[in-house]
Amino acid sequence: MTGLLHQTLSGLATGGIYASLALALVMVYRATRQINFAQGEMATFSTYVALTLIQAGLPYWIAFAATLLFSFVMGVALERLLLRKLADHSGLGTVGVAIGLLLIFNALSGWLFGFTEKGFPSPFEGAGGGALLGGMLSRHEVGMTGVTLLVLGLVYCFFRFTRLGLAMRAAAANPDSSRLVGIRVGWTLALGWGLAAALGAVAGIMVAPIVFLDPNMMLGILLYAFAGALLGGADNPAGAVIGGFAVGVIENLGGAYLVGTDLKLTLALVIITVVLVLRPAGLFGRAVVARV
Amino acid sequence: MIGMPGLMRLLGIAALVACGFLFSGYHLFQLAQTAVYAVAIMGLVVVTGTTGQVSLGHGAFYAVGAYATAILMTNFGWPFWATLPVAGIACAALGFAVGLPALRLSGSYLALVTFALAVAVPQMLRAKALEQLTGGVQGIVVTAPDVPFGLPLSQDQYLYLVTLAVAVLMFAFAHNILRGRTWRAMVALRDQPLAAEAAGIDIARIKTRAFAISALFTGIAGALAAIIVQFVAPDSFQPQLSIALFVGLVVGGAGSLAGAVIGAAFVEFAPLLAEQVNKNAPGVFYGALLVAILFVMPGGVAGGFRRLIAGFQWRRHKPPSMLAKQQGGTAHAE
């Protein structure tokens, strides 16, 4: 029983990482109907930037904030300079550009920072180290969950209580009408990309102490985030967050009791396929009905 | 009577056969590998041409085809030629199973599911449960078929010619599919899905069938790869393979089979060239080129050539020219 509780809690902790990345994916998808396959590699790149800043002697949280800012600007710049210029909106065009970015960021990470696995410092495992909650979770897992929840809460407040958040929701829901009431829809898309990149950076920085940092660090995590986003509903940010946590738990329990660790990625494939077969709109999404 | 295009094709095939005697060793292997990639990318041309969506997971079918051949030849002692249909059909079945859930929905779900497939398959091949069959991390060493009937060929030459023959057959097969009535109908379905659905046509089934055929192509490519590389292991089929095939599709041009051949040559030779500049350059180069081509030359190299030949008629914002022509044709028929 303790084992089950332990697996569930640690599943929730990694689930937070999937939830952040899933939310980033949904943010882009809602606004542009585009699956950003490069989201994971962008996050890895941001994590390397954070590590470089920390190694340069900056205090952890200042490096953290600076990385978020850098990622935000990077996301905005990518949307403004690249994606909005793309004329070909077919699957080939949008997926192709995302894959191009994936390749570029992956190779840049390796090129600039090296291919060897690197350790990443955790701000939570200071002097009084040791596990918490009766040995269930490491200090880093608890701290990571806290940070993830805080960031998700901030994102929620931003969309719920600020005018800019409202404008972004409006632009995603109905771009034409939003334009008519004076919202600059193009900029809200760029803002969405920026926020998504920053969220990805949080996920990358938080998970790096656990999985170690290398250029392919986020590939598996991105897959779980896809599964989470789809499970919750590709159209529903809150759903994606819940889906992310759920996938974390499913992955951990499945890995421990069902398929073993060497088929964990297959589990993500199974979740994606099952959701598409049984409930393509996800648990909390609305089915898309086209008006003819 | 053989017309001009037919004559050109025969000359082309003769030149490729001659290459088998002009080159040797590693260069011959590279040519064979190019032919294999061409068959694999033809599979991608079939998906993108018929469904308008892209697959990021054809490396998985390539792997399954390669393993099917390796397992049947090594564990069961089958001759190589007999494993080809099995590899193809196994991949077609897998393609059907994976494609159906994604293709009955509109949107980019196919890219998502196939991406997951590409990431998951190497791990499955490594899994302990299948180790008896797949050889686990070690993989399987394949003994290539010997030169039959005492033909005066070296083993390398024989393998190259076998690969070439299968590639030419698959090219002809793909050509017939793409020119045939059914495919034109599929293009009509792709472009006017609502009208087709209203007429009672099960679009999802037809698209899935196209995807299964495309998986068959790539599975056969994998089977060929198993005998020319003479070794299969999970690490040869990482997600990067799927992405490389996709890059080949875009670079060559998604609208034509000639594009598949050009793309295959790119996939085989470009990384070697880029590596001479810098060890890490291929990734950046691949990515930047992919983005640049999508912006500047959406029809790929083949599409670009076609435009050039068509009298420098640069039509902007049009899909690859072959598709455009056929779309025009089918639009009239509606």
**What mean pLDDT is predicted for residues B309-329?**
50
Is residue B208 predicted with pLDDT exceeding 80?
yes
List pLDDT tens digits, range B178-191.
777 777 777 777 77
Indicate whether B334 belongs to any domain.
no
State in words which class domain A2-115+136-278 has: mainly alpha
What is residue B55's three-state secondary structure?
Answer: coil
Which among B254, B278, B284 has CB closest to A92? Answer: B254
pLDDT at B20: 74
Residue entry with tokens 């091949």: B125
d(CA B195, CA A133): 60
Does this complex have an ipTM over 0.90? Answer: no
Task: Decide if A197 contacts A42 (C-beta within 8 A).
Answer: yes
The pLDDT value recorded for residue B293 is: 87
How many angstroms away from the CA of A267 is the closest CA of chain B?
A: 8
User: Is B243 in contact with A103 (Cβ distance < 8 A)?
Assistant: yes
Residue B283 has pLDDT above 90, yes or no: no
- Is B291 in Cβ contact with A96 (below 8 Å)? yes
Q: Which two tokens stand for residue B133?
A: 């069959």
Establish if B72 belongs to a structural domain. Answer: yes
* In-domain check, residue B152: yes
Q: What is the pLDDT along chain A (292 residues), one digit of tens a residue?
A: 778 888 888 889 889 999 999 999 998 888 888 889 999 999 999 999 999 999 998 999 999 999 999 999 999 999 998 888 886 667 788 888 999 999 999 989 988 888 888 888 888 875 455 666 666 778 888 888 889 899 989 988 998 899 999 998 888 888 889 999 989 988 888 999 999 999 999 999 999 998 889 888 998 899 999 999 999 887 888 889 999 999 999 998 888 887 777 788 888 888 888 888 888 877 877 776 666 5
Q: How much of chain B exceeds pLDDT 90, in percent?
A: 21
> B170 versus B326: which is more confidently predicted?
B170
- Select from A35, A272, A276 the Cβ nearest to the Cβ of B108: A35
Q: Which has more pLDDT, B100 or B322?
A: B100
Question: Best of A33, A276, A291 to disrupt the B interface by mutation (most B CBs within 10 Å)?
Answer: A276
pLDDT-derived band of residue B325, with 50, 70 and 90 as boundaries? very low
Q: Closest CB to B112: pick one of A86, A111, A226.
A: A226
Q: What is the mean pLDDT of residues B126-146?
A: 80
Phi and psi, residue B141, nearest 5°: -90, 125
Nearest to A95 among B108, B278, B289 (CB): B108
**Domain annotation covers residue B265:** no
Tokens of B189: 């379905």
Highest mean pLDDT among B21-25, B254-258, B329-333: B254-258
Distance from CA of A126 to the nearest CA of B (A): 36
The pLDDT-based confidence of B26 (bands split at 50, 70, 90) is: confident
pLDDT exceeds 50 at position B24: yes
Cβ contact B101–A37 (<8 Å): no
Q: For residue A34, what is the nearest residue in chain B, using CA coordinates?
A: B108
The answer to whether residues A242 and B108 touch, using CB atoms and an 8 Å cutoff, is no
The verdict on residue B1 lying in a domain is no
- Are A265 and B119 inside 8 Å of each other by CB? yes
Residue B41 is predicted with a pLDDT of 93
Number of domains in chain B: 1
**Any domain includes B30:** yes
> Which residues of chain A are within 8 Å of residue B52 when distances are taken between CB atoms?
90-91
> What's residue B322's pLDDT?
47
Q: Does residue B244 sit within a domain?
A: no
**Residue B147 Cα, gap to closest chain A Cα (Å):** 40
Contact B61, B201 (CB under 8 A): no
User: B143 or A11: whose pLDDT is higher?
Assistant: A11
Spatial CB neighbours of A12, under 8 Å, sequence gap ≥ 6: A145, A245, A248, A249
| The pLDDT of residue A78 | 92
Q: Please give the pLDDT value at position B101.
A: 84
Which range among A186-190, B315-319, B326-330 shows the weakest confidence by mean pLDDT?
Answer: B326-330
Say yes or no for a CB contact (<8 Å) between B283 and A230: no
CA A213 to chain centre: 16
Residue B15: is its pLDDT beyond 90?
A: no
Integer Cα distance of A170 and B313 in angstroms = 42
**Each residue's pLDDT tens digit, B258-272:** 888 889 988 888 887
Q: Nearest by CB to B102, which of A37, A276, A290?
A: A276
Domain boundaries, chain A: 2-115+136-278
Q: Which among B53, B120, B288 is the nearest to A268, CB-wise?
A: B120
Yes or no, beta carbons of B284 and A103 under 8 Å apart: yes
pLDDT at B215 over 60: yes
Residue A45 confidence (pLDDT): 95
Q: Is the pLDDT of residue B49 over 80?
A: no
State how far the alpha carbon of B123 is from the alpha carbons of A145, B118, B120, in Å.
Answer: 28, 10, 5
Indicate which of A44, A103, A219, A263 best probes the interface with B, i.e. most B CBs within 10 Å of its own CB.
A103
Minimal-distance CA residue of chain A relative to B295: A86
Q: Which residues of A touch B115 (CB under 8 A)?
A: 37, 223, 226
Structural domain of B196: 9-237
Say what the pLDDT of residue B67 is. Answer: 93
H or E element that contains B314 = none
Residues of B in contact with A89 (CB under 8 A): none
Amino acid, single-letter form, for residue A274: V
CB contact under 8 A, A33 and B107: yes
**Residue B327 has what pLDDT?**
42
User: Cβ–Cβ of A92/B48 closer than 8 Å?
Assistant: yes
> Is B300 a domain residue?
no
What is the identity of the amino acid at B52? Answer: G
Give the burial string for B140-166 (b: 16+ CB within 10 Å, else e).
Answer: bebebeebeeeeebeebbbbbbbbbeb
Closest CB to A107 among B105, B110, B280: B280
* Residue scoring higher pLDDT (B98 or A280): B98
B321, with CB counted inside 10 A (0-12, 13-18, 19+), is buried
Report whether A53 contacts A205 (CB < 8 A). no
Tell me the two tokens of residue A163.
Answer: 């005018």
